[in-house]
């Protein structure tokens, strides 16, 4: 199965939008009056991109989150490569960068045109990775709008989830496979909600699983930005520091042993067979709500 093949490669090797797709009536050129809430939604890997038919661009996992928003809400989807590996066209780092750049442009344009409009950002999987990065920039004062413009940020299966992020539903251990964002979400931390199935290895990686952590780091830096060298150094230093305090090279060798590799293959097979990463529409977070329905209700309540 393609998902299993590609995701397995991600664990072994490394873990844009040209335009926004508007949900609801009207075309992008119609320039409707300013909404009360502007929702920028970023789909996950393979849920959009140039190889998708036009009618397939957009929702994916986030369809149930953004559908049926209150009046006065506008939802735009970010279209981007949504790929992860060189043979697909763009490596993960370049694809995610494309998603983040397009989201920034959409947010900046709306903020400039509609001074009173509040903004929400939602993302799933690779889209959550990009959405979280954009939100973190805004929250730490280097984004395209001030933190006060952000009403909420909803992240489902964020590969950069931090143990300190506000979680909804059963608490997942560890952090995202790509490691937490240096500096966190700053002044928007109280408006960020993340959902992660504890069985989803993309957003719930044990702190002592150094093979997956290094793979996630390689994915994030697969299209390096010279301006982010400082961040790469911090992230690599964090992994190496944890490794050294946990036995150093000896621990890494143990995790790369034949027995450990066989165990990892079994773990990955169990993970992909469980569908944990792709079942947030049925993953219950409490109160009779699924991850998708909870996120929908929360975003709708911000309008």
| pLDDT over 70 at 6, yes or no | no
Question: Which band of pLDDT confidence, cut at 50, 70 and 90, is reported for residue 262?
Answer: confident
CA distance readout (Å), 47 to 21, 50, 215 = 13, 10, 23
Range of the domain at 257: 2-300
The CATH code of the domain that includes 46 is: 3.40.50.1820
With contact defined as beta carbons under 8 Å apart, do 126 and 96 qualify?
yes
User: pLDDT tens-digit profile of 195-214?
Assistant: 999 999 999 998 878 787 87
User: pLDDT tens-digit profile of 141-155?
Assistant: 999 999 999 999 999
Question: Which band of pLDDT confidence, cut at 50, 70 and 90, is reported for residue 51?
Answer: low
The sign of the dihedral angle between the CA atoms of 89, 93, 94, 98 is: positive
Coil, helix or strand at residue 186: helix
Residue with tokens 């397939």: 56
User: pLDDT tens-digit profile of 23-43?
Assistant: 433 333 334 589 999 999 999
Domains: count for the chain: 1
With contact defined as beta carbons under 8 Å apart, do 132 and 154 qualify?
no
Question: Which band of pLDDT confidence, cut at 50, 70 and 90, is reported for residue 89?
Answer: low
With contact defined as beta carbons under 8 Å apart, do 37 and 118 qualify?
yes
| pLDDT over 80 at 181, yes or no | yes
CA distance readout (Å), 183 to 78, 96, 179, 188, 235 = 25, 19, 12, 12, 11
């Amino acid at each position: 199965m393609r998902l299993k093949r590609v995701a397995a490669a991600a664990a072994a090797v490394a873990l844009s939008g040209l335009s926004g797709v508007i949900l609801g009536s009207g075309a992008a050129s119609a320039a409707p009056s300013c909404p009360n809430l502007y929702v920028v939604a970023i789909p996950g890997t393979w849920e959009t991109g140039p190889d998708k038919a036009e009618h397939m661009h957009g929702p994916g996992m986030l369809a149930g989150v953004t559908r049926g928003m209150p009046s006065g809400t506008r939802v735009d989807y970010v279209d981007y490569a949504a790929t992860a590996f060189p043979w697909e066209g763009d490596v993960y780092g370049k694809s995610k960068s494309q998603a983040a750049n397009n989201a920034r442009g959409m947010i900046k344009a709306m903020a400039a045109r509609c001074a009173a409009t509040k903004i929400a950002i939602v993302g799933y999987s690779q889209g959550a990775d990009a959405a979280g990065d954009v939100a973190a920039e805004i929250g730490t004062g280097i984004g395209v709008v001030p933190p006060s413009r952000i009403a909420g940020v909803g992240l489902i299966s964020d590969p950069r989830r931090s143990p300190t992020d506000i979680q909804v539903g059963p608490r997942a251990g560890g952090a995202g496979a790509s490691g937490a964002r240096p500096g966190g979400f700053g002044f928007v931390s109280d408006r960020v909600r993340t959902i992660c199935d504890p069985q989803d290895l993309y957003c719930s990686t044990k702190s002592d699983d150094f093979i997956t952590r290094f793979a996630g780091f390689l994915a994030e830096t697969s299209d390096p930005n010279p301006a982010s060298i400082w961040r790469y150094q911090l992230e690599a230093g964090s992994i190496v520091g944890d490794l050294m305090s946990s036995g150093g090279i000896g621990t890494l060798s143990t995790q790369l042993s034949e027995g450990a590799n066989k165990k990892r293959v079994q773990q990955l097979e169990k993970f992909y067979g469980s569908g944990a990463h792709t079942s947030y529409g049925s993953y219950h977070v409490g109160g009779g709500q699924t991850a998708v329905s909870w996120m929908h209700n929360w975003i709708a309540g911000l309008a």
